[in-house]
Chain A
Amino acid sequence: MGRAWNRHILRRWIRTRLLLGVFSALSAFAQETHVGNLTGHAAAGKQFYRRFCIGCHGPFGDGNGENAPWIDPKPRDFTSATFKCRSTPTGMLPTDQDLYNSVARGFTNSNMPHWDSLTRHSRVDLLAYIKTFSARWQTDKAGDVLQIPAEPPITIQSIAHGSELFQKLECWKCHGQQGRGDGPSASTLTDSRDNPIRPYNFAAGSDDSRFKCGAENQDIYKIFMTGLDGTPMPSFADVIQPDDAWDLVHFLRTLQVNRKSKENDALRTAGGKIPKVETKDAAPATAPPAQPDTKPPGAEK
């Protein structure tokens, strides 16, 4: 055909490759994760998804993998970008660190293992690929990370105030008075896909192994401040002050009756009973209607 033709073909090949390269670089750029000093790329994460995740989370990332019908709780649907364990307000996307923690920690009492088998770098690549299942990662503004104030000392007063909040905020309606997950509304709870779901049982066991979003005091703090999206657990961020929130955390720890903790020590030192405190709280009670004055004016004379 001639050298001119060969040059033409070569030029066309180079142009196509350049365009493809730019395109995939742009798509990969759009889906990146940053955790610590690591940057993950979606293109590199795809192979891990297809090897490790697709069986439960499905080829389209919607939680409809081959294993999904047989397991409970159901695998996360990445297409809705709704996640349970976050540091951001309800309805907002989690941070990359939140996602990383979930993959690294796994979800106890579920089929999601802790992915020790993946290196840190593989995990961040995998997370970048998971973001490709929802356009929200490109359109939504990132949520403001919850600012957690320093934890105040663990005292019986803090626990007592927390106990009061547990009543006032009506946590017991689902969690039960002893936090056993047996409150009046517990049996009818369903998650956002209408699957039955149970509230956390604080009293069972003697350790923190069943906490799904981390087991430190500040992880518990985050749970009721951000809510567990996709589940019945709402966010209380609008109705509880940060200091009051710490009191609630300290009280919740005493519901874990068999766990050794500073909170249980404080309770034991105080005689094992939580004292009643004067109300100094966040949610104002509805004021009773003013009683009319039954004496007519001037009747005293």
Chain B
Amino acid sequence: MRLAKSFVISAALLLGPGLIFGGTVSGKVTFTGTPVKAKTIDMSKEPSCAKAYSNPPVAESVVTGAGNTLENVVVYVSTGAPDETSAPSHAVTFEQKNCRYAPHVIAIQVNQELKVVNSDQTSHNIHPLARANREWNKSQPPGTPPLSEKFDKEEFIPVKCNVHPWMRGYLAVLTTSHYAITIDDGKFALPNLPPGKYTITAWHEDYGTRTADVTITGSETKSVDFSFAAKAY
């Protein structure tokens, strides 16, 4: 009996931290091949924004870093984690700054508040081109308060401004809080995963999606890398 009890205690001590803190999936997102050269954006029709750029801005559909890393990739747990329908109480901000969206890609949970801010001196209209969610389109002149919106279905929603046709951004509406978006080093980390089998999906706006299956048993860190094939055009 004492042996069983000490066994249970030591098992709890070993597994406990894993159960509380969970495992981590981390890795890097890279690409192979040569991405098409990013197009220069002509902002001459909107001088109030054009003047913010000393070098002409380029389109952000493919942003890369040193060592062939890929930026703006949303990496998230697509299966294995329970759906989280009660969203965090803080809002995610999507800013229209110098006639571009900052950040270019955001991740937000279902029913979490999206705050849209116009920091420019020109009007924008914020037009998420949703299919699964409702499609709405609102004007936001300069100096007006932020818009507050929510989405109730999982979807990767492209956003555009009709007045400024080069503006393009994405809202990754997810049912999980286990997500990360890569920056120039292409790295991501998904911590706090309880033991279980997971499918991790990496999404890029032009290059599509890649998935990987991963099993977490305790508090270990599993390394998963994603590689996308660059498109020639």
Q: List residues of A whose CB falls within 8 A of some B CB.
A: 80, 82, 89-92, 136, 140, 168-170, 173-174, 184-185, 188-190, 192, 227, 229-239, 283-286
**B 137-153 to A, binary, CB cutoff 8 A, 1 in contact else 0:** 11111111001000000
Bound Cα distance from A234 to B142, whole angstroms: 15
Is B163 among interface residues, defined by CB-CB distance under 8 A? yes
Segment at the interface with A among B28-36, B59-67, B117-125, B175-183: B117-125
- 30 example contacts (A-B, Cβ-Cβ < 8 A) are as follows A82-B134, A82-B135, A89-B136, A91-B134, A169-B123, A170-B122, A170-B123, A174-B163, A184-B45, A185-B45, A185-B163, A190-B162, A190-B165, A192-B129, A192-B135, A227-B136, A227-B138, A229-B137, A232-B125, A232-B127, A232-B163, A233-B137, A234-B125, A234-B127, A235-B136, A239-B144, A283-B143, A283-B144, A284-B144, A286-B143
Bound Cα distance from A174 to B141, whole angstroms: 15
A147 to chain B, nearest CB (A): 19
Tell me how many residues of B have a C-beta within 8 Å of chain A: 25
Are B165 and A185 interface neighbours, CB within 8 A?
Answer: yes
Bound Cα distance from A136 to B135, whole angstroms: 12
Provide the residues of chain B in CB contact with A189, threshold 8 Å.
Answer: 162, 165
A222 to chain B, nearest CB (A): 15
Do A170 and B141 form a contact, CB below 8 Å, given A185-B163, A234-B125? yes
Q: Which listed residue (B131, B139, B164) contacts A234, Cβ 8 A?
A: B139
Are B163 and A173 interface neighbours, CB within 8 A?
Answer: yes
SS class, residues of chain B in contact with chain A: loop
A5 to chain B, nearest CB (A): 52
Q: Which of B200-214 contact A (CB under 8 A)?
A: none
Q: Which listed residue (B123, B131, B137, B140) contacts A173, Cβ 8 A?
A: B123
Closest residue of chain A to B131 (Cβ to Cβ) is A80
Bound Cα distance from A82 to B70, whole angstroms: 35
Provide the residues of chain A in CB contact with B162, threshold 8 Å.
Answer: 174, 185, 189-190, 232, 234
Are A185 and B135 interface neighbours, CB within 8 A?
Answer: no
Provide the residues of chain A in CB contact with B122, threshold 8 Å.
Answer: 170
Given contacts A91-B134, A92-B134, A285-B142, could you give 6 more A-B pairs where the C-beta distance is less than 8 Å? A82-B134, A232-B125, A232-B137, A234-B126, A234-B138, A284-B144
Are B123 and A90 interface neighbours, CB within 8 A?
Answer: no
Are A234 and B141 interface neighbours, CB within 8 A?
Answer: no
Bound Cα distance from A284 to B144, whole angstroms: 7
Bound Cα distance from A283 to B143, whole angstroms: 7
